[in-house]
């Protein structure tokens, strides 16, 4: 039985509609994001984390949004092109490796627990305060993914 791809990918709601209907949800998630931004964590690193989680969660809107933001921040094209295979890519720093591994561990909680080894690897690269904010950034993008993905927000236009 063939499925109608139009129905499978058509937006269910747009961001602006959700924004109008539930501004308190938007405000809470934006406040959490602002707390991360104000924390001092490198903005490029945070965008890589948001991008990787959005890929894992198959959220087209957030993937494109964070690709655009990463480009604006000057993240290298090699990192953006190879983030899906970051372990093998050879272009990410030890700190970025730790952040991406932590992202994958926290984004896939339904299929595995977060091991002591995963925590130790993250804690080796991030001070306690940084790790708290990194964890908050990952929680925040996962929340956004779970709104934008199922509602199929139309992805923003790609930026150069």
Q: CA torsion sign, 63 to 68 to 72 to 74? A: positive
Question: Could you give the CA distance from residue 80 to residue 23 in angstroms, rounded to a whole number?
Answer: 31
Length of the chain: 160
Question: What parts of the chain have a pLDDT lower than 50?
Answer: 1
What is the distance, to the nearest Å, from the Cα of residue 111 to the centroid of all Cα atoms in its chain? 18
Which CATH fold would you assign to the domain 29-151? AhpD-like (1.20.1290)
Q: Which two tokens stand for residue 24?
A: 């308190």
pLDDT score at 6 = 58
Token digits of residue 136: 């908050």
């Amino acid at each position: 039985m063939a499925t109608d791809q139009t129905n499978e990918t058509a937006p269910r709601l747009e961001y602006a509609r959700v924004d109008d209907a539930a501004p308190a949800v938007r405000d809470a998630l934006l406040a959490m994001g602002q707390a991360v931004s104000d924390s001092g964590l490198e903005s490029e690193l945070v965008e890589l984390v948001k991008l990787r989680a959005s890929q894992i969660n198959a959220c087209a809107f957030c993937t494109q949004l964070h690709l655009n933001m990463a480009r604006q921040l000057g993240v290298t094209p090699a990192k953006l092109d190879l983030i899906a295979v970051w372990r093998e890519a050879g272009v990410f720093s030890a700190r970025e490796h730790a952040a991406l591994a932590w992202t994958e561990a926290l984004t896939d909680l339904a299929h595995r627990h977060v091991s002591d080894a995963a925590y130790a690897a993250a804690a080796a690269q991030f001070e306690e305060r940084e790790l708290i904010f990194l964890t908050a950034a990952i929680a925040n993008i996962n929340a956004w993914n779970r709104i934008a993905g199922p509602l199929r927000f139309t992805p923003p236009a790609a930026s150069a």
